[in-house]
Structure 1
Amino acid sequence: MKRRSFLKMAAGVLAAPQLVHAESERVLRFIPQSDLTALDPVWTSVYVTRNHGYLVFDTLYGQDSSFRVQPQMVEGAVTEPDGLIWRLTLRDGLLFHDDTPVLARDCVASIRRWAKRDAFGQTLMLATDELSAADDRTIVFRLKTPFPLLPDALGKMGINMLPIMPERLANTDPFKQVTEMVGSGPFRFLTDERLVGARVAYQRFDKYRPREQGTPDWTAGPKIAHFDKVVWNVIPDGATASAAMQKGEADWWEQPVFDLLPLMARSPDLTTSLVEVTGNIGLLRMNQLFPPFDNAAIRRALLGALDQAEFMAAVVGDDAKAWRGNVGVFAPDTPMASAAGLSALTGPRDASRARREIEKAGYRGEPVVIMTPSDYPRIDALANVAADLMRRCGLNVDLQATDWGSVIRRRTSKAPVSEGGWSVFITTFTGVDMSNPASHLALRGNGADSWFGWPVAPELERLRDQWLKASGPAEQKSIAAKIQAQAFIDVPFLPLGQFFQPTVQRKNLQGGLKGMTLFWNIRRV
């Protein structure tokens, strides 16, 4: 071998580790809460899809940590004095990932599709006489009645976000999934790199134009993508995910198992923090189309046996600072929270009395199918506590273990359990999604148009309409208290308590935003 050839080879060997290191510096390696089984953030209300949605899609408005909405894709808005006409103007130069311009007609089609699935969107469209595109950059709402919360509806943070997509995709039936991911957000979805159950990847969109004004805060303000690539590695097993963080094979573990947090805290390279500052609230949803939960008396009976401490201990263990009980239908410490009707949850817990009340209500031993995802530890833990509670109350429980993707597909079924339907599923909502009646999916009582479970609760709907027309915060809070009291009569869901889920990151990550799992503004230092 000639000396020159040898030196070239040696230089290549020496450069290789530096090249690999440089590549890893530009890639954010993330362990998500679960696999991304559904891509369409309109079709489903699960949080992993919401997180994916904010990577790929931009929104007309964003929401800051004071719960105020700020223009995002919108440059500005003007309204007529009577409040019946709103004109929203898009920022200039916005592009989709397929290099086509974002036009007002794309936004109109996206709004219409989203509004058929979202609680706040449904209400907005009931107040809308006409929604149109006046030109390429102007969206026009002509309203039947004033709707001052219009920007709040379009910019609300949380599940069932309003993703702006090309008109050809937005014309898809909202009850069918959009699977072609073309947005205008800061990252492009890499379809060819997706491995179901294992990996999801995103590439920074070089032609994305962040807002020039404002301060990054939750989903509001400029969205600056500092990483060239974001890779989600799905690791359901907590011990394996923990090892990946400690070995430097991952940068960010979204929802570490509480039992492993002390181990994470001992690592000099890792730090824990609270991103979802409004907490997570456990929610037990019952299918009200069929027995036994079509009977409100049976649903109410369960309230008397429900102990939120039991549910929270299953998730967080012995850490009393990581959870709170006495949680009603609105997130604690948010403006609409109150103690109205909470005696249903705070009195003595008595499963024997609940059993007697359930028998008196006419329970005939119908099977209660509880779906639980074995690949989603905290939901699985809550579901197992729910199964034990219902068995103690005399219900004929069939706890069926499956994966999270199957749960979110099956819960859309309106078939009876004998034909593959369901009776109960468990989920969690962030405090943002339980902060007011307008956007609270689980509080709707509009039957077939309600969220999965499909309750019919006309008094809840009447009070919600009153809340939307309230003259100010004081009146809103008063009506919200009545809504909570009524919810303990109708029981559209059972609140299971609130917990605060830390996240774990490498210490060399800085600039990450609070509120929810967001991938812009975070950078490696």
Structure 2
Amino acid sequence: MHHARWTPSRRTLIGTTLLVGLSGLLTACGRPPALKTGPIDIGPPVTGGTLRIGFVGGGAADTLDGAIATNLGDVARAINMYDALLYRDDDFVLQPLLATSVTSNPDATVWTAKLRPGVKFCDGRPVTSKDVVASMRRIIDPDDPKSGAASLGHLREVVALDEHTVEFRLSQPDSALDDSLGQYSITIVPEDFDPAKPVGTGPFMLQSFTPGQSTILRRNPHYWGDEAPYLDEVELLNFNDTDALINALLSSQVDAVAQIPAALAEVIGSDARMQILNSKTGMWLPFTMRTDVAPFNDARVRQAFRLAVDRDQMVEQVLSGYGTVGNDMFASFDPAYPSFPQRVQDLAEAKRLLAEAGHPDGLSVELVTAPIQAGVVEAAQVFAEQAAGAGITVKIKKMDLTSYWGDYLNYPFSQSFWYTRNFLPQANSGAMPDSPFNETHWTDKEFVALVQRARGETNEAARNRLIEQAQKIMYDRGGNIIWGFANQLDAYQSYVGGLVPNATGLPLSGFQLRRVWIGEPA
């Protein structure tokens, strides 16, 4: 576990307002001079109790439908109330969940899922292949497509072969369909599912829900796992801003908080009552340049903007060192992630490219940002400072969350965030012409052809070569500035057990709360 040294710098200034707001509480805590090196021993798991989790965000649009989860609260509800057929474990390895196996025919046009026998929904009804068929049809419903529809657009037919066997018949080969079926949004629900009265197979079930405020989940008495959840209840609490969130943690109003600012990790972690969960992930916070509008419709301009970034400085100042440098390609945990020469800041070359593209006197652009994820607004501020050296004037337009998301696919230059995914699912969601979140409006024909070939390639080595070629196109002329991969930083009270580093990028051990318990220091 790496802890960046706490030294005065611009990252300190970035968090000044928050730190000032917390100074009284932090002083009252009487923190020791050194940061703890790891979790304390609270003994073996204990059954019972309520875990209170705080996070920033949420509002009137909060949902109980795991298939359309977007914000942190939605995702926490989705993972704990429902299950997918497969899931990604702490090391980002695909593992069985409701399915014991998901396998394909030789050309990857037909996939077969074997369901785990004996699984029941939280209302006691058995899960059958008919529920899986209904769940998939619900997700890809053309009149009301859910979040996972983009990766299942080639699903021609879903057939229940028997009570525990489901066949997925595709209109084109897809060697990574199992990866898509492992996304948390591909929830398996009953045939008669009603989001207003949600029924799932997850470790917890709904007790109460007030959008934008709180959710109470209670243990599912019919949970199928080898070990039932330790907790009786989980309470998910919304907070309006990070200051209020951290204050709630320090005043013991909550037991754990999702996503703390990197600049506060040392300060909070030095409180004897607190622990920091530091997970290395493939989460990325890109700057997105629309490749179909000026000035970013010129690849030379896009490359100049990438060369304006000092990536090491960005990781140090924005993430306080809690992250790794990026190279303008996503899917860093994918076995096919290539090792091209590391792009570094080159202001002279950036200026040359801008001049060649018709901007000899530099360029002025508006960067639209919002606090959509810890570090995003800070990254905008640091980028503006760095880009000035290349003759790029960046005017930051900061919006509130609701306004930002309302039009975010249309900004010429803005920001986004993505959790850990492998290349093909990520391309399906955000880099193809028909992707629902194609933030850069990327329509490169050579890239599209390579992705389509990779989807249909069942030989792993050959598929990885195709992915590397596609990544090279992104590296050379893509619309994302991928400057780094952020660690996921959460904080919790020392009496909380079962939280471990998790590579998915999702907070608090990937929100796998069935493993968490409330104990006492041994």
TM-score bracket for the superposition, by shorter chain length = 0.7 to 0.9
**Greater RCO between the two (CA within 8 Å, min separation 6)?**
2
State the alpha-carbon separation in 2 of the partners of residues 312 and 334 from structure 1.
21
What is the CA distance between 1:185 and its match in structure 2?
A: 1.8
| Residue type at the aligned position of 1:329 | M
Partner of residue 305, structure 2: 302
**Which SS does the other structure have where 1:271 is aligned?**
strand
Q: Which runs of 5+ in 1 are unaligned?
A: 1-23, 171-177, 213-221, 413-420
What is the CA distance between 1:406 and its match in structure 2?
A: 3.4
Partner of residue 522, structure 1: 516
| Residue type at the aligned position of 1:458 | K
State the alpha-carbon separation in 1 of the partners of residues 463 and 392 from structure 2.
38
- 1:14-413 counterparts in 2 under 5 A? 26-35=49-58, 38-39=62-63, 40=65, 42-43=67-68, 46=71, 49-65=74-90, 67-76=92-101, 85-97=110-122, 101-114=126-139, 122=150, 125-126=153-154, 128-134=155-161, 137-143=164-170, 147-156=174-183, 161-167=185-191, 181-191=198-208, 193-196=209-212, 199-212=213-226, 224-274=228-278, 276-317=279-320, 320=321, 322-332=322-332, 334-340=334-340, 342=341, 345-346=343-344, 348-350=346-348, 352-353=351-352, 355-360=354-359, 368=366, 370-373=368-371, 376-388=373-385, 399-412=396-409
- Distance change in 2, residues 1:195/1:123 (3 Å): closer
What is the CA distance between 1:265 and its match in structure 2?
A: 2.5
**Which SS does the other structure have where 1:203 is aligned?**
strand
String of CA shifts for 1:197-222, please: whole Å, max 9, x gaps.
xx32132243332234xxxxxxxxx6
State the alpha-carbon separation in 1 of the partners of residues 192 and 392 from structure 2.
48
What is the CA distance between 1:370 and its match in structure 2?
A: 1.0
State the alpha-carbon separation in 2 of the partners of residues 81 and 292 from structure 1.
45
- Distance change in 2, residues 1:169/1:354 (3 Å): farther
- Distance change in 2, residues 1:86/1:386 (3 Å): same
Q: Which runs of 5+ in 2 are unaligned?
A: 1-46, 503-509
State the alpha-carbon separation in 1 of the partners of residues 252 and 339 from structure 2.
46
Q: Are the counterparts in 2 of residues 443 and 460 from structure 1 also a CA contact under 8 Å?
A: no
State the alpha-carbon separation in 2 of the partners of residues 361 and 437 from structure 1.
38
Q: Are the counterparts in 2 of residues 324 and 499 from structure 1 also a CA contact under 8 Å?
A: yes
Q: Give the TM-score, by structure 2 length.
A: 0.74
Q: Give the TM-score, by structure 1 length.
A: 0.74
Q: 2:413 aligns with which of 412, 418, 424?
A: 424
State the alpha-carbon separation in 2 of the partners of residues 448 and 338 from structure 1.
23
State the alpha-carbon separation in 1 of the partners of residues 393 and 366 from structure 2.
6
String of CA shifts for 1:229-255, please: whole Å, max 9, x gaps.
222233354444333333322211222
Q: Are the counterparts in 2 of residues 370 and 424 from structure 1 also a CA contact under 8 Å?
A: yes
String of CA shifts for 1:309-354, please: whole Å, max 9, x gaps.
343234233xx4x2332534145465222222x45x2252345445
Q: Could you say what the CA RMSD is over the residues aligned between the two structures, in angstroms?
A: 3.8
Larger Rg: 1
What is the CA distance between 1:470 and its match in structure 2?
A: 4.1
String of CA shifts for 1:452-503, please: whole Å, max 9, x gaps.
3432122112222333344544434433332221102331311021232332
**Which SS does the other structure have where 1:208 is aligned?**
coil
Q: Are the counterparts in 2 of residues 278 and 331 from structure 1 also a CA contact under 8 Å?
A: no
State the alpha-carbon separation in 2 of the partners of residues 337 and 169 from structure 1.
39
Q: 1:510 aligns with which of 482, 485, 497?
A: 497
Q: Are the counterparts in 1 of residues 205 and 218 from structure 2 also a CA contact under 8 Å?
A: yes
State the alpha-carbon separation in 2 of the partners of residues 84 and 230 from structure 1.
41
